[in-house]
């Protein structure tokens, strides 16, 4: 299986980076081909702007939706976007890993989605190509995330509410919107203060999750 691993964390020595490296090693050991988009290391531009388009449709006013639709028709996105789109086309399974910032994904991950999952490429309102008919239909996806706060803060009745409901803007309104089949999110709570024993346990738990969603190639 072809797997695109989209990763957002600044620190190479962080728990998230350790988890990502373990995941890629395990996936490759199981016979999968993995491509990594390490957004901070790539210095990926998170801002959707005029520079994203090499053949703009209009010069007098900037309409992101119209420019993305136009660029999807004639492949006139900037090189960095085209490169990421090629990875998405190649992939059977997309994994998005990031820490939670203010109950949300980091801006650089949101920017990747804004710029890469463009109308005309990932969905198309003009042809009602969304959800069951989204343009990424046939591919799978999963969100892997960590929180600084303990699970009680992100549970039903807790201060923030159920994290799975908070993530629906991403899992349902974004990923499923584009036609992706989305596996349940893998969540690590209280990641900012873990013992080595717990770190090892969380890595093992994630490896078991990966074995279930991306079984060993026969």
Mean pLDDT of 188-206: 95
| Residues of the chain above pLDDT 70, percent | 100
pLDDT band at residue 81 under the 50/70/90 scheme:
very high
Query: How many domains in the chain?
Result: 1
Instruction: Give the pLDDT confidence score for residue 146 in this predicted structure.
Output: 98
Q: Which tokens sit at 154?
A: 């992100």
| Mean model confidence pLDDT for the chain | 97
- Catalytic residues, by residue number, are 148, 154, 160
Taking 90 as the threshold, does the pLDDT of residue 44 lie above it? yes
pTM: 0.96
In-domain check, residue 218? no
Instruction: Give the pLDDT confidence score for residue 87 in this predicted structure.
Output: 99
Instruction: Give the pLDDT confidence score for residue 51 in this predicted structure.
Output: 98
In-domain check, residue 110? yes
Taking 90 as the threshold, does the pLDDT of residue 163 lie above it? yes
Taking 90 as the threshold, does the pLDDT of residue 66 lie above it? yes
Instruction: Give the pLDDT confidence score for residue 151 in this predicted structure.
Output: 92
In-domain check, residue 119? yes
pLDDT digits (tens, 9 = 90+) for 109-133: 999 999 999 999 999 999 999 999 9
Taking 90 as the threshold, does the pLDDT of residue 217 lie above it? no
In-domain check, residue 8? yes
pLDDT band at residue 218 under the 50/70/90 scheme:
confident
pLDDT digits (tens, 9 = 90+) for 30-39: 999 999 999 9
Contact 1, 92 (CB under 8 A): yes
In this structure, what CATH number is given to the domain that contains residue 156?
Answer: 3.40.50.360
Residue 22, domain extent: 2-213
Q: Would you give the distance in Å from CA 33 to the centre of its chain?
A: 17
Mean pLDDT of 14-25: 97
Taking 90 as the threshold, does the pLDDT of residue 205 lie above it? yes
Mean pLDDT of 143-154: 96
In-domain check, residue 54? yes
Instruction: Give the pLDDT confidence score for residue 193 in this predicted structure.
Output: 87
């Amino acid at each position: 299986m072809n797997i695109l691993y989209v990763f957002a964390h600044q620190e190479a020595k962080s728990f998230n980076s350790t988890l990502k490296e373990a995941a890629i090693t395990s996936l490759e050991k199981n016979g999968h081909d993995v491509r990594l988009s390490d957004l901070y290391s790539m210095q990926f531009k998170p801002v959707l702007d005029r520079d994203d388009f090499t053949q703009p449709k209009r010069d007098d006013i900037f309409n992101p939706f119209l420019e993305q639709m136009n660029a999807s028709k004639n492949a006139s996105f900037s090189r960095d976007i085209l490169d990421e789109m090629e990875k998405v086309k190649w992939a059977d399974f997309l994994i998005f890993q990031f820490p939670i910032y203010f109950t949300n994904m980091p801006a650089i991950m949101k920017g990747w989605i804004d710029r890469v999952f463009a109308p005309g490429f990932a969905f198309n309102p003009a042809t009602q190509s969304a959800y069951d008919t989204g343009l990424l239909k046939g591919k799978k996806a999963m969100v892997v995330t960590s929180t600084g706060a303990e699970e009680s803060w992100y549970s039903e009745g807790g201060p923030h509410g159920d994290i799975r409901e908070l993530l629906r803007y991403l899992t349902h309104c974004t990923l499923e919107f584009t036609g992706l089949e989305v596996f349940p999110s893998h969540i690590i709570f209280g990641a900012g203060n873990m013992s080595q024993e717990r770190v090892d346990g969380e890595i093992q738990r994630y490896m078991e999750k990966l074995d279930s969603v991306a079984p060993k190639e026969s």
